[in-house]
């Protein structure tokens, strides 16, 4: 800084000297040269840090950067004399001599004045400026604006480091900037640092307001930590900040999302008055909570209450009500409130159309769902990924995988790359029918578009191989999974064990079960059910029964399928009384079997002469008798 100051002072000297120089750039170069030479007394610390002083030529433009060391100037002086332009060079150095003589005298006086009095005045002025309120206000405003910009860009870590740097300069951020930091931390999910920031604000004298507390409360609610959020409300009240309707809406929404509707209503009455509790946002949140529980009667009471209290409903409230009726599969009432929505002057948006399409798809009313999608185009609303996802899922549930693939291609035509779940639905749909070629085609399309296959993708492909009866290629595909770093899950092994049943290979089933346990994959009831099926097919009914008892002791929930397997197996080998014992156990558990199982047991008991037991079975058989089948048909057999 001292060298720069000296350079400016020397330039002033040059301007005071009334030399009629032809080359102004040359004069500036001379000024820079002497400012560097005579400022060494002021820049001794810099000389200790640097071996040579580097200066930038002011003659060159920015496009021609050039640096030169001062020490080289005198060593190259003879080169200038040897150049071809002798007369012009002598003229230049005559000017230099005159400049040196005059400048030395002036600089001598100037340096003496700076040394004795100028230094004190310079430092006093600088200290006065740096300690002034204007300096700190300007510095704080610029740094605060930078921190807010960093928070908006998601660079909260950099913003926090800048805040620490400001603290070292005794500059404290204002409340507005602190709220930006709080919001950024909560969006990142770094709630521990956000909680520290709240405590730090109190320590440095920045009083948090309702925005600060609401942001942190919302962060804890988003992370499903409602208890801490409620504790913050208490802290908020203790520090003299009154919870407002925004605070209430955040907590009510979180409680309703967890199904705690009664707690939400109780909290509502404690935090705000009756007038604030009936605003459109609060009422819509409570109505949504009722819809999630399937309590449409209570939802309609809130709806009617909004009209009684003079609250102007909006399209969001209509969307919530339509979604509620779709959740309870009452599409007619959903259509009715869609008409009411239009009468009120609100046009359906993406949420409205997607809600109706999703509800119709779950009802497997795909013609209506596709018709709604066509009406979206008439309303100038482009179907999005949620629209196509609902339709593809609906066709998958309906079993029409070709239609699902058609809409998948339509998504790709609109440059929408689906998430892996959509691809997996189509692959699994082809797997149902054993269509390996189509399933592999979809997998290849998926990889070409940069979507990585996951465990569910491979499960769909294995399902296709198993359905086709190709257990060997299914097992090879499992090896491909492992080579790709994707680990099989319990569904993978269940499918492969089911494939082992199809070929009647107990060996493959045992090996798969061992591998499953070795890899730490816990078998479920379906795993043991498929293994029992394999054993019974090979005639190892006693071993299958042993597996059944082990499953019961393990605490796994047993359904009717293992009973069916053992009852049919004992009937097949001509031991109906053992089958009847399992039938009684099944009845005592309150489980209901299928018609074919009762029929097999009834026939086996009748053939062995166990008529009394057969008549007990016949009582259940008659209740499950297919329509059009007469009682006499069964009795005659």
**Which of the four pLDDT bands, split at 50, 70 and 90, describes residue 501?**
confident
How far apart, in whole angstroms, are the C-alpha atoms of residue 118 and residue 109?
A: 12
**Radius of gyration (Cα) for the chain, nearest Å?**
42
pLDDT per residue as tens digits for the range 373-426: 988 888 888 899 999 999 999 999 888 999 999 999 999 998 899 999 999 999
DSSP-assigned letter for residue 67:
E
89-93, 95-99, 273-277, 356-360: which range is least confident on average? Answer: 89-93
Show the tokens assigned to 6.
Answer: 């000296």
Query: Is the pLDDT assigned to residue 624 strictly greater than 50?
Result: yes
**Sign of the CA dihedral 420, 426, 431, 436?**
negative
Cβ contact 631:625 at 8 Å: yes
Question: Which phi and psi angles does 54 have, rounded to 5°?
Answer: -105, 130
pLDDT per residue as tens digits for the range 231-251: 888 888 888 888 888 888 888
Model pLDDT, residue 533: 87
Taking residues 506-522, report their average pLDDT. Answer: 86
**Sign of the CA dihedral 231, 233, 235, 238?**
negative
Model pLDDT, residue 238: 87
pLDDT per residue as tens digits for the range 563-619: 999 999 999 888 989 989 988 888 888 888 788 888 888 888 888 888 888 888 887
How far apart, in whole angstroms, are the C-alpha atoms of residue 606 and residue 574?
A: 11
pLDDT per residue as tens digits for the range 563-579: 999 999 999 888 989 98
Q: CB-based contacts of 276: which residues, under 8 Å, 6+ apart?
A: 245, 248, 282
More confident residue, 457 or 307: 457
Region at 415 (left for phi over 0; alpha for psi -120 to 50; beta for the rest):
left
Taking residues 448-457, report their average pLDDT. Answer: 92
Query: Is the pLDDT assigned to residue 19 strictly greater than 70?
Result: no
The chain-wide mean pLDDT, for the chain, equals 77
Cβ contact 602:618 at 8 Å: yes
Model pLDDT, residue 78: 46
Model pLDDT, residue 524: 87
127-131, 355-359, 446-450, 508-512: which range is least confident on average? Answer: 127-131
Taking residues 35-44, report their average pLDDT. Answer: 44
Model pLDDT, residue 444: 93
Query: Is the pLDDT assigned to residue 633 strictly greater than 60?
Result: no
Taking residues 618-626, report their average pLDDT. Answer: 67
DSSP-assigned letter for residue 204:
T
Triad 579, 529, 625: Cα angle to 5°: 50
DSSP-assigned letter for residue 332:
H
Q: What pairs with residue 56 in β-bridges?
A: 67
pLDDT per residue as tens digits for the range 346-375: 888 999 999 999 999 988 899 999 999 988
Taking residues 100-110, report their average pLDDT. Answer: 60
Single pTM value for the model: 0.63
Cβ contact 436:467 at 8 Å: no
Cβ contact 386:407 at 8 Å: no
How far apart, in whole angstroms, are the C-alpha atoms of residue 182 and residue 215?
A: 7
Residue 368's CB: how many other CB atoms inside 10 A? 16
Give the rounded percent of residues in the chain with a pLDDT score beyond 70: 74
How far apart, in whole angstroms, are the C-alpha atoms of residue 468 and residue 456?
A: 19
Model pLDDT, residue 454: 93
pLDDT per residue as tens digits for the range 153-195: 888 888 888 888 888 888 888 888 888 999 999 988 888 998 9
Quote the distance between the C-alpha of residue 415 and its chain's center. 22
**Which of the four pLDDT bands, split at 50, 70 and 90, describes residue 73?**
very low
Q: What angle, rounded to 10 degrees, do the helices at 24-38 and 2-16 form?
A: 140
pLDDT per residue as tens digits for the range 328-344: 888 999 999 999 998 98
DSSP-assigned letter for residue 55:
E
Model pLDDT, residue 522: 87
DSSP-assigned letter for residue 452:
P
Question: Which phi and psi angles does 263 have, rounded to 5°?
Answer: -65, -35
Q: CB-based contacts of 389: which residues, under 8 Å, 6+ apart?
A: 418, 419, 421, 422
Model pLDDT, residue 10: 42
Residue found under tokens 């230099």 = 96
Pairing of strands 67-69, 54-56: antiparallel
Q: How many residues does the chain have?
A: 637
Model pLDDT, residue 39: 46
What stretch of H or E contains 69?
strand 67-69
Model pLDDT, residue 323: 92
Model pLDDT, residue 89: 46
Model pLDDT, residue 278: 62
Residue found under tokens 């949620």 = 386
Query: Is the pLDDT assigned to residue 268 strictly greater than 60?
Result: yes
Model pLDDT, residue 37: 43
Residue 111's CB: how many other CB atoms inside 10 A? 17
Model pLDDT, residue 260: 80
Quote the distance between the C-alpha of residue 528 and its chain's center. 37
């Amino acid at each position: 800084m001292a060298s720069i100051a000296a350079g400016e002072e020397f330039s002033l000297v040059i301007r005071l000297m009334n030399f009629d120089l032809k080359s102004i750039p040359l004069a500036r170069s001379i000024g820079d040269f002497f400012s560097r030479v005579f400022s060494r007394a002021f820049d001794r610390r810099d000389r200790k840090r640097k071996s040579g002083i580097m200066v930038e030529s002011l003659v060159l433009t920015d496009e021609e950067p050039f640096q030169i060391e001062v020490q080289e100037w005198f060593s190259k002086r003879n080169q200038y004399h040897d150049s071809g332009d002798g007369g012009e060079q002598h003229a230049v150095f005559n000017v230099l001599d005159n400049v040196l003589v005059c400048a030395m005298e002036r600089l001598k006086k100037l340096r003496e004045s700076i040394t004795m009095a100028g230094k004190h005045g310079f430092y006093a002025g600088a200290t006065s400026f740096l300690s002034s309120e204007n300096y700190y206000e300007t510095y704080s405003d610029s740094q605060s604006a930078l921190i807010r910009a960093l928070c908006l860009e998601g660079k909260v870590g950099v913003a926090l480091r800048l805040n620490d740097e400001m603290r070292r300069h005794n500059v404290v951020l204002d409340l507005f900037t602190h709220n930006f930091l709080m919001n950024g931390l909560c969006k990142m999910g770094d709630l521990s640092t956000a909680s520290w920031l709240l405590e730090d604000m109190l320590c440095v004298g920045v009083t948090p307001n309702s925005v600060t507390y609401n942001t942190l409360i919302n962060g804890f609610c988003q992370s499903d930590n409602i208890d801490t959020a409620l504790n913050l409300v208490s802290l908020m009240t203790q520090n003299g900040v009154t919870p407002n309707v925004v605070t209430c809406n955040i907590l009510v929404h979180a409680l309703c999302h967890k199904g705690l509707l009664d707690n939400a209503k109780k909290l509502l009455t404690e935090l705000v008055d009756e007038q604030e509790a009936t605003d459109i946002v609060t009422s819509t949140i409570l109505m949504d909570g009722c819809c999630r529980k399937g309590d449409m009667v209570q939802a309609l009471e809130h709806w009617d209450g909004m009209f009684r209290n003079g609250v102007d409903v909006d399209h969001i409230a209509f969307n919530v009500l339509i979604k509620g009726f779709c959740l309870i599969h009452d599409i007619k009432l959903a259509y009715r409130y869609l008409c009411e929505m239009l009468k009120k002057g609100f046009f359906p948006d993406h949420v409205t159309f997607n809600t109706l399409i999703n509800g119709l798809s779950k009802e497997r009313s795909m013609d209506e769902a596709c018709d709604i999608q066509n009406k979206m185009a008439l309303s100038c609303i482009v179907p999005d990924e949620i629209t196509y996802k609902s339709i593809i899922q609906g066709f998958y549930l309906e079993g029409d995988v070709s239609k699902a693939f058609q809409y998948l291609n339509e998504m790709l035509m609109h440059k929408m790359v689906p998430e892996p779940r959509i691809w997996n639905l189509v692959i699994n749909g082809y797997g149902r029918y054993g269509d390996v070629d189509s399933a592999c085609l979809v997998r290849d399309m998926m990889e070409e578009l940069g979507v990585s296959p996951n465990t569910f993708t491979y499960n769909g492909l294995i399902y296709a191989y198993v359905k086709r009866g190709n257990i060997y290629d299914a097992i090879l595909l499992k090896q491909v999974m492992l080579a790709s770093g994707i680990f099989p899950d319990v569904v993978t092994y269940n499918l492969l064990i089911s494939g082992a049943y199809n070929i009647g290979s107990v060996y493959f089933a045992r090996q798969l079960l061992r591998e499953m346990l070795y890899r730490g994959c816990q078998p479920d009831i379906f795993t043991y059910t498929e293994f029992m099926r394999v054993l019974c097919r090979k005639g190892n009914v006693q071993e299958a029964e042993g597996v059944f008892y082990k499953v019961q002791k393990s605490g796994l929930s047993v359904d009717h399928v293992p009973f069916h397997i053992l009852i049919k197996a004992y009937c097949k080998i001509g031991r109906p009384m053992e089958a009847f014992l399992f039938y009684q156990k099944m009845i005592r558990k309150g489980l209901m079997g299928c018609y074919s199982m009762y029929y097999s047991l009834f026939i086996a008991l009748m053939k062995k002469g166990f008529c009394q037991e057969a008549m007990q079975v016949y009582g259940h058989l008659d209740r499950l008798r297919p329509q059009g089948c007469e009682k006499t048909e069964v009795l005659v057999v």
